[in-house]
Amino acid sequence: MAAIHCIQALRFPSRTHVFFPNGDQNRYNIINKKQRGFLVIASADKNSVKEIYIKSKVETLLDSVKWDDKGLAVGIAQNIDTGAILMQGFVNRDALATTVSSKKATFFSRSRSALWTKGETSKNFINVHDIYLDCDRDSIIYLGKPDGPTCHTGSETCYYTSVSDLLENEQVDENKVALTTLYSLETTISQRKDELALPQTGKPSWTKRLLLDHDLLCSKIREEADELCRTVEENEDKGRTASEMGDVLYHAMVLMAVKGVKIEQVLEVLRKRFSESGIEEKRSRGQTS
């Protein structure tokens, strides 16, 4: 008989359902599971105890969601770096539990009455980093990173139809997505870059001048960065700091367009640095160079 390395009592809320995957019952010696909400188990390894604890926490989470009369809640997928709303579907208990364990955005198809994982056909999975519940616990956000376009049309997101455009009888552009200010600016700069390939008439815009003259661009970034620093050195007001930071961002984003770098890539780099110290991050730069 194998030596028992861990005996532990775990306490659960009275309504918690503790469950085991098929065949897992044999891995545990359940000593007592009824006494005052305690589950006392003997396990051959500590990981087994942790596994039971996590599963019980997931069950408690699932019980806290306000599922509708069909056992569903709204599920929204959001890009962790851009903030873009990727898609909306419906989620049931099994879909949410599957997403928690697989880290892939999983929904419930009402038409097929079955679970489906986004990307199971296209391979454009949404890799979930975190899950958020709204204040009423009847709506869920999957915060994640998509492997590719989310919409079945090939668009980055399913939200590309602008009501303003519809009211003005403009044609729907599937490449247009609901953008926040920073990404609208990036799109405009990208459009100016594309326009450089066309015959030019009249005086070029400031953005086009910067795209064409890299020396001018770099000098403006240095100039604007210096002015931003002086808002601290000369104790200028917050409005001035915001204005100068806007100038730095704009000119830096023009440089990014020249280099073919997206703001999403920069935000992803910053996100990955959250869990490491600045010293370690700089050390890793030296190792990869």
- Per-residue model confidence (pLDDT) at position 121: 93
Average the pLDDT over 124-144 and give the result.
97
The pLDDT value given to residue 231? 98
- Of the pLDDT bands very low, low, confident and very high (cuts 50, 70, 90), residue 5 is very low
Contacts of 263 (CB under 8 A, 6+ apart): 82, 182, 183, 186, 253, 256
Confidence band, pLDDT 50/70/90 cuts, at residue 165:
confident
Scored b (16 or more CB within 10 A) or e, 119-148 reads: beeeebbbebeebebeeeeebbbbbbbbee
What is the reported pTM?
Answer: 0.70
**Position 141 pLDDT exceeds 60:** yes
pLDDT digits (tens, 9 = 90+) for 13-43: 545 444 444 445 454 444 444 444 444 444 5
Q: What is the CA radius of gyration of the chain?
A: 26
pLDDT tens-digit series, residues 242-284: 999 999 999 999 999 999 999 999 999 999 998 776 666 667 7
Looking at the predicted structure, is the pLDDT value of residue 3 above 90?
no
- pLDDT at position 77, please? 98
Extract the tokens encoding 62: 């699932």
Q: Comparing C-alpha atoms, which of 46, 34, 41, 35 is closest to residue 10?
A: 41
What is the overall mean pLDDT for the chain?
84
pLDDT for the residue 287: 64
pLDDT at 97: 96
- pLDDT tens digits for 46-95? 666 667 777 889 999 999 999 999 999 999 999 999 899 999 999 999 99
Residue 106 to residue 192: CA distance in whole angstroms: 39
Residue 279 has what pLDDT?
67
Query: Facing residues of 41 across strands?
Result: 8, 30
List of domains in the chain: 64-146 (3.10.20.810), 180-197+205-272 (1.10.287.1080)
